[in-house]
Amino acid sequence: MKALSNEPDRRQFMAGMAKSMLGVSMLPAAEGLLSSSAHAAGVGSSPLKQVPTTRNVIFLYMTGGQSHLDTWDPKPENKDVMGPTKAIKTSADGILIGEYLPRMAKQMHHATVINSMATNTAAHQQANYFMHTSFGLRSTITHPGLGAWLSVFQGAGNPALPPYVYIGNDSRHPGAGFFAKKHGPLMMSNPEAGLQNVRPQKGVTEERFNNRRDLAGLIDNGFTSEFATKDVKAYGDMYDNAVRLMRSEDLKAFDLSQESKEMRAAYGTDRFGQGCLLARRLVEHGVRFVEVSLGSWDTHTANFINVPRMCETLDVALSTLVTDLERCGMLNDTMIVVTSEFGRTPKINQNQGRDHYPIFSAVMMGGGIKGGVKYGATDKDGAQVAENKVTPPELNATIAYGLGLPLDQVLYSPTKRPFTVADKGQPLTHLFA
């Protein structure tokens, strides 16, 4: 979308204006101003840089806390922990996963499985926020999601489309955080609904639509010349860009009906499956960061009925996404990440459920990540990290490193607080092939 990318300086300008208009002295940093001065905030962040290994990220978020034991980190030796869940072999030597993911078992040669994820809280909102932003939830500031950092550093992949899309239902998604709104995700709850309002109202022909635009120009002529301010011009551009988008070929990116029936069925007909298909289309059209969420995995009750059900959806969509990206030759420059806010207790509770637990797993595929690798481990109960603990900032730093983002570049919030992407997490460079 043009206006999203074509007027980069408005908020910055407004912020600058507000600060400098009057008495208060101008302080050195405002939003968007890159500071190269060595500030305490940057200390400890990784100076590592590389040629990016991936252009795109498809981030699959398992809302509610996915049981690591029944999915990516089974303990076949330990019946007490596993309950009725069995482990199965996969296409990667030495990697076992839960039996509810049979299709993914055939794709694990593409994957690095991190079994040693550890977060710092077992409360949904806090842990979800930590995973998305690498920062603790505060009530004085909202930190940006990873896609927003990508947009700030590198702009939109396709200026006609939003830089970042979120497909799911989480109204608490941190989005652009303290960055300008244009860096935030376009939120889509229904992947099949397409982009909203890109067609004229019912019964409005092309001719009438054009007539409306002409009349609007006529009526607004006096006003726009009397008030020729930047804001008024920005709104003029906004209408022009909207009309351009309505006529743009890029709109097809959002149109799932362009896909064959077989392809749509292969991803699964549920929202998550169709969301993954949409993610592939968006990435093809230049949207570089797409998140799709699936939930809820919050299986306090009847874990062994609910997890298989959720896994079925995940297994169908994810295995198709991997093979589809491979088929289009896009798996090399598209990184798929599957993770959650936390895992579930090894102890099965009195309602045959599993409760919140700060240890969990993540899976990474494509975009330069090694295939068929297991990184880190939990102990025999899946209760403690036994080796190579990985925190959400480290996972995010690894993704950012793959995208070639500068991990040590300090950016300032409008409140002049200094931040770096992934909050000083160290990237796991050895996961890259």
Partner 1 sequence: MKTLLSLPSCFLAIALLTPSPAPAVEAAKPKIDTTRASARIDAALARHWKAKQITPNEKISEEVFVRRAYLTVVGRIPTYDEAQRFLTWQAPDKHARLIDQLLASDGYVQHFTNYWADILRAKSTGIGGNTTAQAYLDFIRDSLRRNKPYNQFVKELVTATGECYDNGAVGYYMRDQGMALDNLSNTVRIFLGTRLECAQCHDHPFDKWTQMEFYEMAAFTHNMTGTSYSSDALTAMQKAVKADKSIDKESQDLIRKAVSEATRPLRSTRVVERSNSMKLPHDYKYTNAKPKDVVPASVMFGKPVELKKGDDPIMEFGKWLTGPENPRFASVIVNRLWKQTFGLALIEPFDELMDNSVAVVPELQTLLEKQMIDSGYDMKAFLRVLLNTDLFTRASTKADLEPGTPYHFPGPVFRRMSAEQIWDSLVTLVSTQPDQPNWTLRETERRNRENRKLLDQILDATSPDLLKSASLKVADHMREQNKEFDRLREELDEARAQKDDARAKEIQRTLGSSQTVLRKTVSKSFFEAAKNSGDPEVTKLMAEACQDGDDMDMAMMNLMQDTRASYNDIEFDKATRAAIDAEMKQLKITDPKARASYEKYRKGLHQTWVRASELVSPAPPGHFIREFGQSDRDVIENANYEASVPQALTIMNSSITAQVVHPWSALSLTLGRQANTADKIDALFMTLFTRKATKDEKTAILLSLDAAGPDSKTFWEDLTLASLSTQQFLFIR
191-220 residues near partner 1, rule: CB under 8 A: 196-203, 208-209, 211-216, 218-220
**How many residues at the interface with partner 1, by CB under 8 A?**
89
Among the listed residues 241, 293, 339, 398, the single contact to partner 1 using CB under 8 A: 241
Total length of the chain: 433
Q: Which is nearer to partner 1, 139 or 260 (CB)?
A: 139
**Listed residue (389, 391, 388) closest to 135, CA to CA:** 391
What's the min distance (Å) between Cβ of 320 and partner 1?
20
Q: Which is nearer to partner 1, 202 or 430 (CB)?
A: 202
What's the min distance (Å) between Cβ of 332 and partner 1?
32
Residue corresponding to tokens 């993911």: 101
What's the min distance (Å) between Cβ of 354 and partner 1?
13
Among the listed residues 49, 79, 89, 230, the single contact to partner 1 using CB under 8 A: 230
**Listed residue (298, 404, 333) closest to 50, CA to CA:** 404
Under 8 Å between Cβ of 156 and 281: no
Which of positions 245-274 make contact with partner 1 (CB under 8 A)? 245-246
- Beta pairing partners, 188: 167
Among the listed residues 37, 77, 206, 229, the single contact to partner 1 using CB under 8 A: 229
User: How is residue 299 written in tokens?
Assistant: 């299986």
Which of positions 78-117 make contact with partner 1 (CB under 8 A)? 84
Under 8 Å between Cβ of 198 and 219: no
**Which residues have a Cβ under 8 Å from the Cβ of 402 and sit 6 or more positions away?**
52, 53, 54, 57, 335, 367, 368, 369, 432
What's the min distance (Å) between Cβ of 284 and partner 1?
21
Question: How far apart are alpha carbons 70 and 300 in whole angstroms?
Answer: 14
Question: Binding string to partner 1 for residues 348 to 377, with x set by CB under 8 A, is what?
Answer: -xxxx-------------------------
Question: Binding string to partner 1 for residues 2 to 31, with x set by CB under 8 A, is what?
Answer: xxx--x--xx-xx-xxxxxxxxxxxx----
Q: Which is nearer to partner 1, 226 or 249 (CB)?
A: 226
**Which residues have a Cβ under 8 Å from the Cβ of 354 and sit 6 or more positions away?**
67, 69, 299, 300, 303, 344, 345, 346, 347, 348
Nearest-10 crossing angle of helices 303-327, 271-284 = 20
